[in-house]
Amino acid sequence: MKVLARRLRPLLFHLRGGHSDKLDIYNNVVSRLSAEARVAWAAEIFGDKIVVSTSFGIQSPVMLHLVTSIIPEVPIVFVDTGYLFPETYQFAETLTKRLGLNLKTYNSIMTPARQEAMYGRLWEQGIEGLRKYSLINKVEPMDRALAELRGKIWLTGIRRSQSVSRQHLNFVSLQNQTFKLTPILDWSDEQVDEYLQTNKLPEHPLRQRGYVSVGDWHSTSVLTKDMTPEQTRFQGIKRECGLHEPTNIPGYRI
């Protein structure tokens, strides 16, 4: 961490000079760094105002290990919808103990039972139902976490190769006035697998059963030969769960 920070100081000097075109400046800096150095950069710039999100999915161990190796006490936000696979909850427990995570679990203000009583099964109600489901179960809890933890930058493990909707993302973006950093945005599946093996990280139990991406049990499918990885989520209607989409739209607050 200290070695990386020393290498970054010539660049950091210019970043602290003003606020104009900050996103362009940030992206110009981090695009030339390794994933580890991107995390160190965030620590140098934002100090203790960093928040990391995780879904405890198939590839989550990579980001969790990468970030906590550099910032051990960083808050890890786990948005628990109440609809995750039993194996995901067990995997979360395993990784939390293995990596000593500073885990912060956030849930919707409405229980799953209350949601279904009031609105029915939102995930079966097309794109608008999925949108409302995401706002209630994912977006609002994550927004609350960022506010309570005073996060100024949010680190996430999304990658360009995961979907068409992510291919043109920048390393640093601004979402609802919070900076978002994606340290492994340019990593391939092969790089992810190599990192998992090199660091002997545990594997999600559902990977061996054909799952390439794991979210809620009702909106996640096994990858078959006639599907793309993107189609394994939300019945192929959409890819993003809402956390990585802009939410400055009418009716956002619930």
Active site positions, annotated:
241
d(CA 143, CA 106): 10
CB 214 within 8 A of CB 88: yes
Tell me 114's DSSP state: H
The tokens for 96 are 């939390």
Q: 154-173 burial by CB neighbour count: b if 16+ within 10 A, else e? A: bbbbbbbebbeebeebbbbb
Handedness of CA 128, 152, 36, 97 (dihedral sign): negative
Number of H helices, E strands in the chain: 9, 6
Report the SS3 class of residue 155: strand
Determine the Cα angle at 45 with ends 9 and 22, to 5°: 95
Burial 228-250 (b: 16+ CB within 10 A, else e): eebebbbeeebbbbbbbeebeee
Is 43 within 8 Å of 71 (Cβ atoms)? yes
